[in-house]
Amino acid sequence: MATILKRERLVPNIHLLQVHAPEISRKCKPGQFVIIMPDERGERIPLTIADWDREKGSITTVVLVVGTSTHKLSLLKEGDEVPVFVGPLGKPSEIEKYGTVVCAGGCFGIGALYPIARALKKAGNRIITLLDVKANYLMYWEERLREVSDKFFVSARDSYYNCKDFMPYVLQDIIKEEKRVDRVISIGCTYLMSACSEATRPHGVKTLVSLNPIMVDGTGMCGACRVTVGGKTKFACVDGPEFDGHLVDWEELFARRKSYFEDEIQSLCYWEKINFP
Amino acid sequence: MTEKKELSPEVKEYLRKEFSQEWRKKLRKSLSVKERMKISRQKMPEREPEERNKDFNEVNLGLNEKLAKREARRCLDCANPQCVLGCPVGIDIPTFIKLIEIGDFLQSVKKMKETNSRPAICGRVCPQEIQCEDVCTMKKATGVPVAIGNLERFVSDCERINGEVFIPQIPPSTGYKVAVIGAGPAGLTVAGELARKGHKVTIFEALHVAGGVLIYGIPEFRLPKDILQSEVEYLKKLGAELKINFIVGLTATIEDLKNDGYDVFFVGTGAGLPNWMRIPGENLVGVYSANEYLTRVNLMKAYAFPEYDTPVYLGRRAAVIGGGNVAMDSVRIAQRLGAEQATIVYRRSRVEMPARTEEVKHAEEEGIEFHFLTAPIRYIGDEKGQVKAMECIRMELGEPDSSGRRRPIPIEGSEFTMEVDLVVVAIGQSPNPLIPKTTPQLKVGKWGNVEVDWDTMATNMEGVYAGGDIIRGGATVILAMGDARIAAAEIDKYLNNKKVRRKKK
């Protein structure tokens, strides 16, 4: 059982969840994730670690509310307990001095990018951060990310940020503007990551993505999270979650993420009927 | 792999002493061998196939007192009991059976628990037909062995139902800390044995419940989960600590735990790596590894969706590839979840199937179709990326391969297509790679199995022992328990004889 230290809404449908997990916070590195189960009947789902406090013994994650499991997480209060909070899982991000790195993220990816951008900055890289939000009121952690960035861009669908364009186009412009971009890290929904990878492909810039397939155990035991990278089957939970975006079979990942589409709707309706009669 | 060829002199002496006791002599005289041989094997009461193949309640109902006593009379109480040699943990089978015959069921369980701490589990999942019952004298004489497994299950259920679980007295704490990695059959057994000796045992389990393959692999209708619950409670009463949601190798490595003061380690992390055929279409939606399918259903209770949140694909036409116990479990689950047609596709013939005989019989009764001498060559998907058909090829059997079984050879030109919307690949499991990956000094074999000295279960690292599927690949619960008993005895010796210098914090 793990105790919830804090749960607060950052922006509509995105919540911050802070959990007491000293064993995980002792060991975790940027890019790793945890598996959480909201209650005894819940699913086991992966959440990227967005921050940690090694002294306090806490792990912070950012949750996008979509179906039953994430709805349950969004209703947790300080002092509640969850039956599963296990980690740190996955291979940590590769953190070295590469030169200029673009960190491109959207929705829950903004939180997931933060520890990676912070570590890359510390390793001596020049960080260009590009965040994608559908509207200005969906932006969160802007200050945190600005602090670890040398340049900061936002692509949005309203005119608040002076940039009304879809992220991959902005990314292409940045690559053209900069004399040289050594690496791109893209974290967000599947479509965003695949579009960013396509945007960087003609420029030959190495692009890493943090894949988000469905998971069950998270330790390499079941193969639910299998993805095809470079023609070979890999398990995202132990071989990833980061992979070369130019080698990922995106079509297969899209299809596999839709495996339980109808069940997810049925589950949410069932849960809502019981909890909000 | 060393198998016992001869009972040790101590065991022979012990058996002889039990055999010569007055009550045993009297019991043998009470009914002649001829009379005993006339009694037919008592049938295990089972639920009707058409009723039981729709739910997850246990198939076998268990012997009652009358049937158990009558079955116990069939045992001839041999002077040289081969059954003890056939049992991987060396249970004193004649004594526990003769205690049933005189009606002292609780004493029978006590006797059983001297060597096998979880008879309720073994009585249900052991492949008795290739172990104790295979070498039973009754089998040689009449062709039908004594139903040793059913009797084991009977006495253990007696104990559990009556609530009189016997807790042995624990000696004072030795002060040594033992880290048992994995709460599966091997780990739970080691924990029990060492806790009984007064050592401070902590079991580390990656999942959120203990049991390993007993909880995620074997379905409810073969092994009810509340039995496991009692087993874990028993261990806690012996003083063992269980840390769930703790993945040794990630949350902390063996090295980290050494620094935390653990004196000795037992690695029982099992064979949780699924084997794939690596044929086209294996990543289509609806194609599962048996591990994932079973974990969703057994551990996450997907059969109770949407009351439980984890879904599992409900196929109309399900095909399970493989012929072992895991394949049997998977196909029977698919049927219970509503498949109109649930099929086993196995590349050899019925005779070569490694599954437990009783499981194959139950599966046939429940209406499972068997396609022998068949193997898939690719899966075909629809425009949404979901599996809709499977192309197969027929096989014939050639010369025996390294496993001793005849090698399947594809018959050219025999390809055909089968309509399927759910496939479960149950062709075996390999040792879990996590501990080998995170403990670089550990010697590991070609197939990822941790290498041990088979007489002591010791690895090449001092103070690190291993047993169960992690050293064998996917095998059985009872073999894991046999390894665990050897390892526990060696660990106890290691802690008592060797001077272990403990770091002062």
Min CA distance, B147 vs chain A (Å)?
36
The answer to whether B215 and B184 have CB atoms below 8 angstroms apart is no
- Which residue in the set A83, A216, A219 is minimally distant from B292, CB to CB? A216
**Cβ contact, residue pair B283, A270, below 8 Å:** no
- Alpha helices for A101-150 (secondary structure H): 108-122, 142-147
Whole-angstrom Cα Rg for chain B? 24
**Cβ contact, residue pair A260, B311, below 8 Å:** yes
Question: How many Cα atoms are found within 13 Å in the side-chain-facing hemisphere of B444?
Answer: 19
Q: B389-447: per-residue pLDDT in tens?
A: 999 999 999 888 887 888 899 999 999 999 999 999 999 999 999 999 999 999 999 98
Question: How many Cα atoms are found within 13 Å in the side-chain-facing hemisphere of B48?
Answer: 2
- The chain-wide mean pLDDT, for chain B, equals 90
Residue with tokens 């914090």: B505
Of the two residues B10 and B458, the one the predictor is more confident about is: B458
Q: Evaluate if residue A164 carries a pLDDT over 70.
A: no
Q: Which amino acid is at B98?
A: K
Q: How many Å apart are CA A122 and CA A128, to the nearest integer?
A: 14
Angle at B248 between CA A216 and CA B292, to 5 degrees: 20
Q: How many Å apart are CA B219 and CA B298, to the nearest integer?
A: 6
Min CA distance, A89 vs chain B (Å)?
7
Q: Which residues of A touch B307 (CB under 8 A)?
A: 41, 270
Enter the DSSP assignment of A164. B
**Cβ contact, residue pair B296, A271, below 8 Å:** no
**Cβ contact, residue pair B276, A233, below 8 Å:** yes
Q: B85-96: per-residue pLDDT in tens?
A: 988 888 889 999
The long-range contacts involving A154-163, CB below 8 angstroms and separated by at least 24 positions, are A154/A130, A155/A130, A155/A131, A156/A132, A160/A135, A160/A136, A161/A133, A161/A136
| Residue to substitute from A1, A34, A41, interface B, most B β-carbons within 10 A | A41
What mean pLDDT comes out for the span B98-117?
86
Q: B14-62: per-residue pLDDT in tens?
A: 899 999 999 999 999 999 999 999 999 999 999 888 888 888 888 888 8
How many interchain CB pairs under 8 A, A with B?
116
Q: Which residues of B touch A85 (CB under 8 A)?
A: 245
Q: Which residues of A touch B272 (CB under 8 A)?
A: 219-221
Q: How many Å apart are CA B51 and CA B336, to the nearest integer?
A: 10
pLDDT at residue B403, rounded to an integer: 75
pLDDT at residue B498, rounded to an integer: 67
- The CA-based diameter of chain A, rounded to the nearest angstrom, is 58
- Which residue in the set B250, B432, B434 is minimally distant from A88, CB to CB? B250
Instruction: Determine the straight-line distance between the first and last CA of chain B, rounded to whole angstroms.
Output: 41
Q: Evaluate if residue B2 carries a pLDDT over 60.
A: no
Q: State the virtual CA torsion across B204, B205, B210, B215 in degrees, nearest 10.
A: -150
Any idea how long chain B is? 505
**Cβ contact, residue pair A27, B252, below 8 Å:** yes
Q: Are strands A81-82 and A2-11 parallel, antiparallel or unpaired?
A: antiparallel
Min CA distance, B208 vs chain A (Å)?
6
Question: How many Cα atoms are found within 13 Å in the side-chain-facing hemisphere of B315?
Answer: 28
Interface of A with B in 16-45 (CB under 8 A): 23-24, 27, 37, 41-44
Residue B122's φ and ψ, nearest 5 degrees, are -65, -40
Q: How many Å apart are CA B108 and CA B110, to the nearest integer?
A: 5
Q: Evaluate if residue A139 carries a pLDDT over 60.
A: yes
SS3 of B391-449: the string is: EEEEEEEEEECCCCCEEEEECCCCCEEEECCEEEECCCEECCCHHHHHCCCCCECCCCC
**Cβ contact, residue pair B285, A68, below 8 Å:** no
Q: How many Å apart are CA B101 and CA B27, to the nearest integer?
A: 9
What is this model's ipTM?
A: 0.93
pLDDT at residue A191, rounded to an integer: 94
The long-range contacts involving B19-24, CB below 8 angstroms and separated by at least 24 positions, are B19/B77, B19/B79, B19/B94, B23/B102, B24/B77, B24/B98
Q: Which residues of B touch A24 (CB under 8 A)?
A: 251
Q: How many Å apart are CA B393 and CA B345, to the nearest integer?
A: 11
Q: Which residues of A touch B309 (CB under 8 A)?
A: 41-43, 68-69, 267, 271
Q: How many Å apart are CA A89 and CA A43, to the nearest integer?
A: 17
Residue B393's φ and ψ, nearest 5 degrees, are -135, 145
Min CA distance, A146 vs chain B (Å)?
31
Among A218-222, A264-268, B163-167, B294-298, whose mean pLDDT is lowest?
Answer: B163-167
The pLDDT > 70 percentage for chain B reads 97
Q: How many Å apart are CA A200 and CA A206, to the nearest integer?
A: 8
Interface of A with B in 128-147 (CB under 8 A): none
What mean pLDDT comes out for the span A239-258?
95
Residue with tokens 């059969």: B303
pLDDT at residue B503, rounded to an integer: 42
The pLDDT > 90 percentage for chain B reads 68
Q: A46-93: per-residue pLDDT in tens?
A: 999 999 999 999 999 999 999 999 999 999 999 999 999 999 999 999
Min CA distance, A6 vs chain B (Å)?
21
**Cβ contact, residue pair B301, A89, below 8 Å:** no
- Alpha helices for A123-166 (secondary structure H): 142-147
- Which residue in the set B283, B295, B310 is minimally distant from A252, CB to CB? B283
Min CA distance, A159 vs chain B (Å)?
37
**Cβ contact, residue pair A219, B206, below 8 Å:** yes
**Cβ contact, residue pair A252, B306, below 8 Å:** no
- By the 10 Å C-beta count (0-12 exposed, 13-18 middle, 19+ buried), B404 is classed as exposed
Which pTM does this prediction carry?
A: 0.90
Helices B185-196, B477-497: crossing angle, 10 deg rounding:
40
Q: How confident is the model at residue B497 (pLDDT cuts 50, 70, 90)?
A: confident
Residue with tokens 């509503």: B338
Min CA distance, A270 vs chain B (Å)?
7
